[in-house]
Each structure stands twice: as C-alpha cells, then as structure tokens.
Structure 1
Amino acid sequence: MDAPSSTPSRQGPPGTTVVLADDHLVVRAGMRLLLAQDPAFQIVAESATVPDTLDAVRRTRPRVLVLDLTMAGQSSLPMIPELLTVSPGTRILVLTMQEDPAFAREALRTGAAGYLLKEAAAEELRAAVHQVAGGATYVQPVLGARLAVETPGPVDQETLTAREAEVLSLLALGHTNQEIAQRLYVSVRTVETHRARIRDKLGKDTRAELIAAARERGLVT
C-alpha cells in the first residue's frame, strides 16, 4: 500500500460545500467557526447521528463530509460505502480522536479520502478539507508515517483490525452479540466471527479479560 499524501494544500475549488457530522454540538460549532474563516467553504448541513448524516448527504450532495467515527454510540465506519453510493461526488474526511492506525487504514480502505485527529491545529483542518475537496488524499503526517511502516500480518498475533477493535470495545462495555450486531449493521454471526478472532489473537474471552485488553489499547476508559 502506497503511503497516502500528507502535504497540506492551500488550494481548493471555490464554493466547496461541506457537511459537518459529529454528535458533540461544541465540536460542530468549533469546526463551523474555523471553516467559516475561509470564504471557499459553505456549510450546508450538520448532523449528530449516523442516520441523520446519511440523510444530510443524500439531500445536499456536499463536496466534503467531515465525519466523526462514532456518533451517538454508533460507528460510522460501516456507513462510508453507503454514503459514497448515495453521493458519489462527496469526499469524506474522517475527523476523530482515534489515533490507532488500524482505524485510519480501514477508513481509507472503505472509501474515505482523509483521516485527521481532533487534536490537529485549526489551519491543518482547513488545509485537509481543501486537499480532499481538490481530489487528493490527506492523512495527518504522524499517522501517514505509521501507515507507511506498519504492515499487520500473522506474525503479530495481537494486531486487531479496526472492526475487531470496535467489537472488543463494545464487548468490554458489556454489550451482547445481538446489540453489537445492531450497532455495527452486521449479522450476529459476523460478530461471533470477530469475537472468535479476538479470542484467538489475544487469548482472552471473559468479560474481565476483555475489559483489561480494551483498556490496554485505549478503547475504553
């Protein structure tokens, strides 16, 4: 896999329409304020849940969707392909607190055009939106470097995929297989498969062991 571009671009198409998707009102307000400082951006909608985001994208067909990975307890990762189906011209920039490269890798694999941490400076957010709007890929430099050098494989049995990490965090929080399936829009059998893989990789299966493993990886507090 080639390393994604991470050089900020100051140029972007004029009148770039943007949808902001985050379940925290304060975060959305901050993003709106930052992007409003650039006349190239036009905020056309905001959303706080995965279903509302899908509706907003279908309705407005924005050039850029700034997307949080988890909203109202639901993962937005599984929805990326559907978001691109309802609006093929939309470029998705993931903005998240999740710094595990596995999540960045999965987001890019499913169709996201960029991945940025919420700790990024204001100027970097604007540059990232410009870059993905212009058709390029943007990954925060620190993550881009890790993606370029990390190659998960069978040698590292403790390396979890982004989806396995999601399942682990939900298991650690006490959710049943059925509840996890509903949250992730997958079948119970799929959850059971992920759980089996987690058990094989980590050698842990009891709730206490899963909580400990999730805490070690920063997936739960």
Structure 2
Amino acid sequence: MTEHQPSVLVLDLTMAGQSSLPSIPDLLAASPGTRILILTTQEDPAFARAALRIGAAGYLLKEAAAEELVGAARQVAKGATYLQPAMGARPAIADTGAPGTDGDASLTARELQILSLRAPGHTNQEIARRLHVSVRTVETHRARIRDKLKAETRAELIAAARERGLLG
C-alpha cells in the first residue's frame, strides 16, 4: 500500500481464513491518510467495536453492500465514521422479544434506516438523496415496512415501530 495512497481502503474482515483486524494498524501506519472501511459477513457488534477501536473508519455488512457501499465509502472519505445502522439496532431488537422482531416480520438493515429517516418526516426524495438510492428503491422499502408492521398511515407506522422498540 505504500506505492498507492488510496483515500479509502475497503477491507474484508476475513482474508485467507484469518482476521484482518491485526493488519489495520500496519495499514494505517503505511498510509496515514487512508481511511479503512471494513466489509464483512460478521454480524457480531463486538467485531465492529474492535475494528473501530483499532482504527477502522467504517463497518459494513456484505448483505447491504449493494445498496450502501458507495455511500459508506463517501462518508468515510469525508472523515466521518460509518457504522451500518442495523449493527446497533440488531442486538437491541433481539433483546426486546417484541412481536414482529423475528422471522418474516423483522426489518432489514435498509428498512430500519429508511424507517428512522421517515419517522421525523423526511420525504422519499430526501431519503433517496441522503442514502444515494433511487426514489423507487425508497418506495419499495417503505411498502415492505408497512407490510411487515401492518401499518397503512405514517402515524400507524410510527406507533407500530415504537411498540416494537424500533424508534426512540
């Protein structure tokens, strides 16, 4: 990496069957201006905390990469820390035991993200712009959220989400 000085390095958490976490300090030392975004299948929040603690600037699950990778890389490149929103929500949701938090009724990472933006009143266009996706993608996710939470109006949606501990 000393030959190239990328602004963002997307690093798989597991390479050649081993954790890449121990390599993060060496990578940062070799290229101090490079920000590291971890891309992984590892859903355990402890791995995310460990990666961020030793210098990674972001943590993204591969399941969301198609929708979130570009936006995450942009945030990291700007100096922000990126943690996939559902990483923090998963343990909290699992601990509630609330109806609709398992099986088909559970919300995906992107659905949780859209729900958290929709609740305060952001429009589909604003959400699409913020998440770097199309308006149609936002509409599709909103429809799935409504189906899963069995809510038609925005007020019903917010009430159902609060009952399940998905919103503060």
Matched, 1:99 2:29: no
Q: TM-score, normalised by structure 1?
A: 0.40
CA contact (8 A) 1:105 1:147 kept: no
Stretches of structure 1 lacking an aligned partner (at least 5 in a row): 1-56, 150-221
Matched, 1:70 2:19: no
Q: How far did residue 104 of structure 1 move?
A: 0.2
Aligned to 2:72: 128
SS of aligned partner of 1:60: coil
Q: TM-score, normalised by structure 2?
A: 0.52
**Aligned counterparts of 2:4 and 2:40: Cα–Cα separation in 1:** 23
- How big is each residue's C-alpha offset from its partner over 1:89-139, in whole Å with a ceiling of 9 and x where there is no partner? 000000000000010000000000000000005231110000000110100
- How big is each residue's C-alpha offset from its partner over 1:21-61, in whole Å with a ceiling of 9 and x where there is no partner? xxxxxxxxxxxxxxxxxxxxxxxxxxxxxxxxxxxx22201
Aligned residue identity for 1:74: Q
Aligned residues: 93
Aligned residue identity for 1:129: A
CA contact (8 A) 1:65 1:90 kept: yes
Residues 32-111 of structure 1 mapped to structure 2, 5 A cutoff = 57-111=1-55
**Aligned counterparts of 1:73 and 1:58: Cα–Cα separation in 2:** 24
Q: How far did residue 146 of structure 1 move?
A: 5.5
CA contact (8 A) 1:115 1:139 kept: yes
Call closer, same or farther: CA 1:128–1:72 in 2, change over 3 Å: same
SS of aligned partner of 2:38: strand
Matched, 1:116 2:55: no
Call closer, same or farther: CA 1:121–1:107 in 2, change over 3 Å: closer
**Aligned counterparts of 1:121 and 1:97: Cα–Cα separation in 2:** 10
Aligned to 1:35: none
**Aligned counterparts of 2:45 and 2:34: Cα–Cα separation in 1:** 23
Q: How far did residue 145 of structure 1 move?
A: 3.6
Call closer, same or farther: CA 1:86–1:125 in 2, change over 3 Å: same
Q: How far did residue 147 of structure 1 move?
A: 8.0
